[in-house]
Amino acid sequence: MPFPLRTECIIGSAVLSSFVHTPSSLEVKYLMARLSLRSRSIEQAAGHYLELLSALLDDPHPQGLHPSPAPLPRIPIIHLEAAASLLENERFQDAVTVCSELLERLGHVTGGVLRIDDPHKAMSEQLNCILWASSTHLLQGEAWGMLGDHRESIADFTRCINLLAKVQCGDYGE
């Protein structure tokens, strides 16, 4: 008596593929960093984030066979989480370095004013970049302040505010 379901129908199912997904090493590193952060193991979290950032430099576009049920967040978010964990672990120079790397990637954001006519629409990519860059300057300013370089600290806090001031929401009567 033949089996009523063919194997390829079961394996090819999108619902079942999430159950057979093996997480990538990058996903495991990220989940370990998040778990360490939640359990207040800040030193371990900082170490996991640094390992993850190093691995991302080697493979900036991780791909798996099946879509992940818990995919990695966007790379700027990983950088921001890493910098925050390094600040909390009092590794201020490492936090500055991580922030500097992210700001290099987001360098194209610095020009012009961003106008948002309808704030209820999904955030645009340019707005995401401005928010990430502004957050990065905020964290970097905090790190510089903890290192005692108040001139750099104030400069980064000012850049943070200036980037946010570029965003204009509302109707412009055009």
Q: What pLDDT, in 10s, does the model give residues 19-75?
A: 566 777 888 899 999 999 899 999 999 999 999 999 988 875 655 444 555 678 888
CATH code where residue 90 lies: 1.25.40.10
Q: For the chain, how many structural domains are there in total?
A: 1
Residue 100 counted as domain residue: yes
Residue 5 counted as domain residue: no
Query: Distance between CA 68 and CA 27 in Å, rounded?
Result: 9
Of the chain, the percentage scoring pLDDT greater than 90 comes to 45
76 within 8 A of 102, measured Cβ to Cβ: yes
Domain that holds residue 159: 21-109+117-169
pLDDT, tens digit, 9 for 90 and up, residues 91-113: 999 999 999 999 998 887 666 66
pLDDT of residue 167: 79
pLDDT of residue 12: 54
pLDDT of residue 117: 66
Residue 2 counted as domain residue: no
Query: Model-level pTM?
Result: 0.76
Cβ-proximal residues to 167 (8 Å cutoff; 6+ apart), any chain: 113, 114, 116, 127, 130
Average pLDDT over residues 78-95: 95
Residue 10 counted as domain residue: no
Residue 147 counted as domain residue: yes
Higher-confidence residue of 113 and 135: namely 135
Model confidence band, residue 132 (pLDDT cutoffs 50, 70, 90): very high
pLDDT of 151 > 50? The answer is yes
DSSP 152: H
Residue 98 counted as domain residue: yes
Residue 162 counted as domain residue: yes
**SS3 sequence, 64-117?**
CCCCCCCCCCCHHHHHHHHHHHHHHCCCHHHHHHHHHHHHHHCHHHCCCCEEEC
Helix, coil or strand: residue 167: strand
Residue 16 counted as domain residue: no
